[in-house]
Structures are given as structure tokens and as C-alpha cells.
Amino acid sequence: MYLIFECDEASFMLNMQSYLSLVHPDDRLLLEKAYEEAKQNLGEFHLEHRILLSGNKVKHLEVRGQFKLTAEGDLAFAEGVSQDVTERVEHRDALQRLAFKDTLTDLPNRRSLEDTLLNEMNACQQQSLRLAVVLLDLDSFGEVNSQYGAALGDLLLKTLAQRLQLLFNNKAVIARVGGDEFALLFTQLQPEASYFKKLNQLLEVISKPITIEGLVIVLTASVGVTEYPQPIAVAGEQLLRQAQQAVFQAKMLGRGRLHQYDISSEIDARQLVDNLEQIRKALQAGEFVLYYQPKVNMNTGQVFGAEALIRWQKNTGELVPPGHFLPALFNNSLEIELGDWVIRTALAQMQLWKQQGLSLQVSVNVTSLQLFEDQFVEKLSKNLADYPDIPPSALQLEVLESSMLNDFALVSGVMHSARKLGVSFALDDFGTGYSSLAYLKHLPASVLKIDQSFIQEMMEDTDDLSIISGVIGIANAFGMKVIAEGVESIEQGNLLLRLGCEQGQGYGIARPMPAGDFLGWIKHWKAAPSWVGQQPVGIQNLPLIYAEVEHYHWVKQVEQWLIGKIKSPPTLDQRQCKVGIWIDSESPFGLHPSFSKLVSLHSDLHKLVAEVIAAQKLAPKNEANSKAAQLFMAQIKQQQTLFINELRGLIG
């Protein structure tokens, strides 16, 4: 022991008190505690501690001991051994430094950072704190390294590490995690604390010129940052990947920039993966069903077809509409799998209906991804062969007009190959895409479907009316049928028939329904009386239809002002409204015997509305005023009916 303590018997009395006096102050309490526990339990003690010798020399000792009892069972003494393990401990510490330190900059390395990150994440959870993970990647460091050599590159990295330590002064954890990559952790942040000022200072510090061996070098860095905690569960490695992705975005924006990771994109990506997995399981569990929306000839009342529309019937009883799950399938292989299921299920239903005495054309929607699949036509052929009692022409495939944009030649080729099998095609949502009209002559489509967005506004917007009229004209020019989707009212149906569109579908006819309800609905459905026998107007009379729509829109604006939905009423000058401008224009209708009466009715209506508006502006805002507004609107609509009847009377 004297050799270990570097003393002799004359100068040092070996006892517990003198021994403890040599123990390093930071280890003394630990030694005393271990000694007392072993003494009380008559057990062994084993620990490692430091001793402090003259000249502040430190040694590491390993101590093992055992307490002994007398024959009578009393505590007698403790015996043991102490061993100098300084060399072993120093070697172990050196290995530890190598494992957790960057040898070039003496900063913590990636392994050390990951351990610290895990501990700080736990602290955030326990203490409701925040953590920021920052990665910086030097721009063009590889070029500098190649031009001036690795030795100078190492000096640059060491200089930069020193600058970072000086800037943050122990207020951030700094690590070197790659060749020219550094990481920073802003730890134990309060909820309202901001660190972006420091990050901007970081960019400035990095960009300051560095002079090494007479060379002046200017560096920049791309910096990415992310935070913890997040709305979703993340691991430490995920935080580092997020910060790395933010670095990539910063580089895309230009050098020397800072970019914060968009956590919402992570949430969206995870939600998408979850949705796809749920849809896959639902398909395997048979939770999808087809609903069918009737297609009718509004002029004759005939039900000639139906569109198959997918629904998700969850085992909880919830019925999920397609808009809530189909977007997740976009350009995913599951989109093809579900599309195949729709075709097979529709054909099976058509066969069942035929056995029940009902023969209908059923349309299904096919996506561009389905059309681009190499086996699409082959699978379609097999599906048709499985139902030989169903004529292929009874199956109609609806293709979005926008699908043409991806690869018109390929889509056209697939459609022609499928057309040879006997199926028919409809171009869905026509008018919303950007395909050339010249494409139509190369496509084997027999039907154009007018998008419902145009139908919804057709009673108020003559621009939509013009598009509808144009689509009908295109269909006639190419010898195609035209069908309007989204017909929701008798008035819309009347207007479509007058424009020359006889076929329609929509809530004004019937909502999509389960297959089992379809036969019963057909037995009881009748077309609106005003639809039956309605004849289209000639092209020369289209201005009258536009005038009617503009007039309806003007009166509706009056009504909306009266009930407080809009702040200003429409123009009251009869010559400034669109119908007034049309009346004043040189028109062949001016020679019609009833035209002067039409002009008079239009003038009277404007005068009535002006009087109503003047009265309402003076009236107090109360319930009585609201009832007066209703009475005024009744008078206005009565006058409007006279005007519309006279306008329609101009049609020759």
C-alpha cells in the first residue's frame, strides 16, 4: 500500500482515517457509503475510486473487501485488497473518448449526439420543454478540399468548430456528425423561446473569411432545423432525417440558407400510408360496395343506364363517400386493384339484374393509371368472358378528359383496343381539361359528359351556359351523345332540354342507391311533366336563353340584398343591366310584335325593384321589415314571370 500511496511507514500511518484523507473529494462520499453498507450487512464491498497525491497527482484504485466476525459472532475487522488500476482506467477512458469524440475537432461525434438527443427528448416529455435539432452542411467544401488538399481542409474544419463553440458558449450541444456536417441541439427550451436569431448569427459566422497559410477562404453553409416534440411520435433518428431533409431543401433554394422542416408533410405522409393500409385491408375484407345512380332521358322519361359509384361500407356501419378515400390511391398500385374490383362487381350486378328482367348499360370510371397498365385490355377481355350473357356494349368505361394529357397516343391506343372488345367509352368531366378538340376524332368515345360544376351555375352564369352550349355543339358535330351530370332541379333540366341536352343524371333525378333499391326506384320514377316533350330551341334563339339566365341572376341578386346576403343591390338602371344592354342592341327580335311589350315589362320590373329598394333602405331592421321584404319579393317574382313568359314567346 505504501508503494501505491508513494510514501513510507515513517511518514504515513495506515488506518481508515488516513486512507480517507487521500481519497479524491468527489469520491469520498461514495466510498464511505459502500463501506458502511457492507459493514451493516456483513457483506463484500467492491468499488473503484481515485486518490489524490502530492502535486495533484491522481491514481485510480480498485478496492475489494470483506468484513469478518469473531467466534462469538461479533464484528471483528475488515480485510481486503487495493489495486492500482490507473493505467487500465486511462486506457478505458481513451477508448471512451475515441467512441464518443471526433478526433479532428474534439467535438462530440454522431454516436455521442444520438445519446444526448435521446436523453433530451426524454427531458422534453417529462418537463414540457422543447428541443431544436439543427444540421449544417458546408457548401462546396469538397471543391476547397480538392483544390487545396486535405490538410488545409482539416484546418478549416477545426477553425469552424472553434467558431461554433465561441458563438454558442455552451448554450447548445455542438457535434461533428460527418465529413463537413455539424449538428447543434438547442436543449430545454421553454415553449415561447426562440433560437432563430442565433441561427442567423450562425450563418454570418460561417461566412466570415478564414485565413489559413496565406489563403483567404469564404465558406457558406446550408442549415436545416426541426423541433421536438411533434404532433406525431418520432424517434431521434427520425429527427435527424427531418433536419437532413430540411438541409436538402435549403440547398435547393440556394447556398447559405436556413430552412425549417415542414412537419405537416411528415404527418400527411404518415396519414397517407395509414390510409392506404386501411383501404387494402378493407378491400380484402369485402367492405367496399357499389351504389348506382340512374341515367335518364329527360325528354322521354326512359331510364337507359346507371353509373357505378364506389362506397366504403365499414364494419362499424359507417358509409364513407369516395372523396374521403379515393384521393389517397392516386398513382398507387392499389388504385388498379380497386378499379379491377369495380369492373368485376359491376358486371356481376348487371348479370343479376338481367336475371331479374332488367337490362341496363352500366358505366364505371377508369383512371389513367388503369389505362396505362400493360394488362388492362387483357384483364378486361377476361372479365367480359366470365359474363357471356352480358353484351360488351352494355359496359361503358368513363375516362376523365384530363387523362389525355399524360400520354394521348397511349390512351387512344388502349381505348381502341378495348373498343374492339365491344365496350363503349364516355369522356367524363368534359370541358374541365385542356385536350385539343382535334383529339376527339381520334378517340373511340361515343358520349361526352358535361361536368357538374357547369350545371350548378348555369342558371346564373352565362359563361357556364356558353360552355354547356359549346359542348352540346361539339357532341353533335362529332356524332356523339351528351349527358349532363349534377342535374339538381327541374329548372336545370328544362334549360338543358332547351339547349338540346336530353340525357341527365344527378340528385334532381335520383341519388346513388344500393343495387337492391334500383328496381323499385325504376317502377315509381317519372320525369317532370315540363321535361316530357320539351323541344330544343334553334341556334338563332340561343340569345333569348342567355337573356333569360341573366335576368334570373339579376332578380336573385335583388333577393340576396333584401335578405342581407350581399352588401349592394344590382344595377337599377334598366339600360345598364345585361338584359337592358341586349334589348338596346340591334337584334332581329326587335321586329317581333311582342318585343315592345317585353321592353315595357322590363322597364316596369326595374321601377318596381327601385321602389322596393328605396323603401327597404328607409325601413328599420326588424322582423316586420323582414316580412315586408318577403312580400316585396313575391311582387317582384310575379312581375318576373310575366317578363319570362313574354321572352319565351319570342321564340319562333
**pLDDT, greater one: 76 or 582:** 582
What is the chain's alpha carbon radius of gyration, rounded to the nearest angstrom? Answer: 42
The CA–CA distances, whole Å, from 262 to 14, 103, 238, 352 equal 67, 34, 13, 51
Helix, strand, coil proportions of the chain in percent (round to 5)?
50, 20, 25
Sign of CA dihedral 54, 56, 59, 64: positive
pLDDT surpassing 60 at residue 2:
no
- The model's pLDDT over 421-461, given as tens digits with 9 standing for 90+, comes to 999 999 987 766 555 576 777 889 999 999 898 898 888 88
Report whether 393 contacts 424 (CB < 8 A).
yes
Which pTM does this prediction carry?
A: 0.65
Stretch 137-144: mean pLDDT: 88
The confidence band for 106, taking pLDDT boundaries of 50, 70 and 90, is: confident
CA distance 501 to 450: 10
**Pick from 208, 556, 480, 462: nearest CA to 471:** 480
Stretch 187-199: mean pLDDT: 85
Domains of the chain by start residue, with CATH: 2-92 (3.30.450.20), 101-261 (3.30.70.270), 273-321+330-529 (3.20.20.450), 541-648 (1.20.120)
pLDDT surpassing 70 at residue 623:
no
pLDDT surpassing 60 at residue 74:
no
> What letter would DSSP give residue 529?
T
Three-class SS state of 226: strand
pLDDT surpassing 70 at residue 223:
yes
The confidence band for 625, taking pLDDT boundaries of 50, 70 and 90, is: low
- The model's pLDDT over 170-183, given as tens digits with 9 standing for 90+, comes to 889 999 988 899 99
Q: Which residues pair with 503 in a beta bridge?
A: 297, 483
pLDDT at position 95 is: 61
Stretch 604-628: mean pLDDT: 78
The confidence band for 184, taking pLDDT boundaries of 50, 70 and 90, is: very high
**pLDDT, greater one: 97 or 350:** 350
Peptide bond into 229 cis (omega under 30): yes
Largest pairwise CA distance in the chain: 142
pLDDT surpassing 60 at residue 6:
yes
pLDDT surpassing 90 at residue 90:
no
CA distance 187 to 116: 10
pLDDT at position 142 is: 84
**pLDDT, greater one: 599 or 586:** 599
pLDDT surpassing 70 at residue 15:
no
pLDDT at position 433 is: 59
pLDDT at position 346 is: 98
Report whether 259 contacts 249 (CB < 8 A).
yes
CA distance 86 to 591: 118
Highest mean pLDDT among 124-128, 466-470, 523-527, 546-550: 523-527
CA distance 258 to 462: 49
Report whether 368 contacts 314 (CB < 8 A).
no
- The model's pLDDT over 301-312, given as tens digits with 9 standing for 90+, comes to 999 999 999 999
- The model's pLDDT over 488-499, given as tens digits with 9 standing for 90+, comes to 999 999 999 999
Stretch 70-91: mean pLDDT: 66
Highest mean pLDDT among 11-15, 205-209, 422-426, 550-554: 422-426
Instruction: List strands edge to edge, sheet with 44-53.
Output: 44-53, 57-69, 75-84
Three-class SS state of 233: coil
Stretch 83-101: mean pLDDT: 72
pLDDT at position 426 is: 94
Q: Name the residue type at position 362.
A: V
Sign of CA dihedral 618, 624, 626, 631: negative
CA distance 158 to 279: 53
Report whether 272 contacts 328 (CB < 8 A).
yes
pLDDT at position 145 is: 85
pLDDT at position 186 is: 92
CA distance 74 to 39: 12
Report whether 428 contacts 482 (CB < 8 A).
no
The confidence band for 414, taking pLDDT boundaries of 50, 70 and 90, is: very high
Stretch 184-206: mean pLDDT: 87
pLDDT at position 98 is: 64
Residue given cell 336475371 in the structure block: 355
Report whether 371 contacts 411 (CB < 8 A).
yes
pLDDT at position 431 is: 66
**Cβ of 81: how many Cβ atoms within 10 Å?**
10
pLDDT at position 344 is: 97
Report whether 38 contacts 65 (CB < 8 A).
yes
Stretch 227-233: mean pLDDT: 88
CA distance 78 to 69: 9
pLDDT at position 330 is: 84
- DSSP string covering 112-167: HHHHHHHHHHHHHHHHT-EEEEEEEEEETHHHHHHHH-HHHHHHHHHHHHHHHHHH
Q: Which residues pair with 176 in a beta bridge?
A: 182
pLDDT at position 71 is: 55
What residues contact residue 160 under an 8 Å CB cut-off, 6+ apart?
138, 182, 206, 210, 219
The confidence band for 589, taking pLDDT boundaries of 50, 70 and 90, is: confident
Phi, psi (deg, nearest 5) at residue 307: -105, 130
CA distance 23 to 21: 6
The confidence band for 141, taking pLDDT boundaries of 50, 70 and 90, is: confident
Average pLDDT, the chain: 86
- The model's pLDDT over 242-254, given as tens digits with 9 standing for 90+, comes to 999 999 989 888 8
pLDDT at position 336 is: 94
**Pick from 622, 617, 637, 629: nearest CA to 562:** 629
Percent of the chain with pLDDT over 70: 89
The confidence band for 486, taking pLDDT boundaries of 50, 70 and 90, is: very high
